Structure 1
């Protein structure tokens, strides 16, 4: 699959922004988080699935950490690590053309991405040492003191859970605002990969050799998740 397509009209062309690995990560992560939330609310035997979904999120986070360094141009963290000055200009509607704030993640979108990834990492970490005092314990609970496990469990079930749900709600609301108010569709590019952009915008590499790298990165994440699960055996 090519990185770009030649649909150029009015000075714009379809540019590959989100590569296949990034798009798959996004949607699979959304499904896993939803599955983790639903299974936790169900409780009982469903808690086994809650743990499985948590381990899947762990594997995906490891992948994204690696892909944020070696992935497609606009998936790399370096492409949306904005300075405070850039953020302020964006909020004032005074962004410079060379900042390309509307290509990949905008400054506000970048804050949301880093916040979500960071909070998910904390949720996974606390879940791995949590104890619901009924039938489910995290696979790494034997490596921490009881007080640490209790604190992690409290965060995981209260502040961590509600902060995560709040960030997800804000994410969905922002997508709706961009679509209804600014007439910008953020969902379609994450489905098809391309956005109509000026001719000079470079595309993200998205071809078979890159997908091989993505598979290696995901394999490392799966290996870590498997090792973590084995510790609870």
Structure 2
């Protein structure tokens, strides 16, 4: 067995911040009232995190890059038959990769519709004024009902998958996402996780946060 660094620190911090923020969004959106102020703030935070992950998917650590977990249909089929290559079980597996891309896409759509949603009471997204009333109505309906349900289902499936790997396949996915290291039966590259790469991640996150701030201020300026 080989102990390698699979998840760099920026990827791990992103993962746990996103998980906490999404749970917070579900709770604050369900409670409503004054908690909607926090719902908006958490929505902006999630958008900044998603933008960061999109960038980090190209310049991040070895196993965090999209190129490392974009699999051919044949690789997915082999994995489902239990004949997948050992290196495909180091980072995101072929099945896990589908879950990651689905969650990123659904969250982007959810945040995007939130920016143009209006509850017709006291809260509305900062970009409402840039789209038609019909678009606002469609976005609001999706954001409050369909999108929220899809996210809850995906989160439940994610938790079930973690439990399956823990109790059936005897693989602790949570531990590796906490400490970054994982024991694997094949010699593979370590993820880059240096002080320089962490500083780069901080700069990227700052730029993403600045972009979201500008986007929100653009809507509030009119």
Correspondence for 1:163 = 150
Structure 2 CA distance for aligned equivalents of residues 46 and 231 of structure 1: 23
Correspondence for 1:193 = 180
Give the number of aligned pairs: 220
Correspondence for 2:59 = 70
Question: How far did 1:199 drift?
Answer: 5.6
Q: For residues 62-211 of structure 1, what are the structure 2 equivalents within 5 Å?
A: 62-97=51-86, 100-198=87-185, 200-211=187-198
Gaps of 5+ in 2: none
Greater fraction of residues in helix: 2
Report whether the alignment pairs 1:49 with 2:41: no
Structure 1 CA distance for aligned equivalents of residues 186 and 156 of structure 2: 34
SS at match of 1:14: strand
Structure 1 CA distance for aligned equivalents of residues 138 and 159 of structure 2: 30
Correspondence for 1:7 = none
SS at match of 1:158: helix
- Superposition misfits of 4+ residues, deviation over 6 angstroms: none
Question: How far did 1:95 drift?
Answer: 1.5
Query: How well do the aligned residues superpose, as a CA RMSD in angstroms?
Result: 1.0
Query: Does the Cα contact within 8 Å between 1:62 and 1:220 map onto a contact in 2?
Result: no
Correspondence for 2:28 = 39
Which piece of structure 1 moves more, 15-24 or 205-214?
205-214
Cα offsets for 1:29-84 (capped at 9, x unmatched): 00110111111111111111101000000000010000000000000000000000
SS at match of 1:33: helix
Structure 2 CA distance for aligned equivalents of residues 13 and 84 of structure 1: 28
Q: TM-score, normalised by structure 2?
A: 0.97
Correspondence for 2:15 = 26
Q: TM-score, normalised by structure 1?
A: 0.92
Question: How far did 1:198 drift?
Answer: 3.6
Query: Does the Cα contact within 8 Å between 1:14 and 1:194 map onto a contact in 2?
Result: yes
Structure 1 CA distance for aligned equivalents of residues 26 and 84 of structure 2: 38
Alignment match of 1:61 (pick from 50, 57, 68)? 50
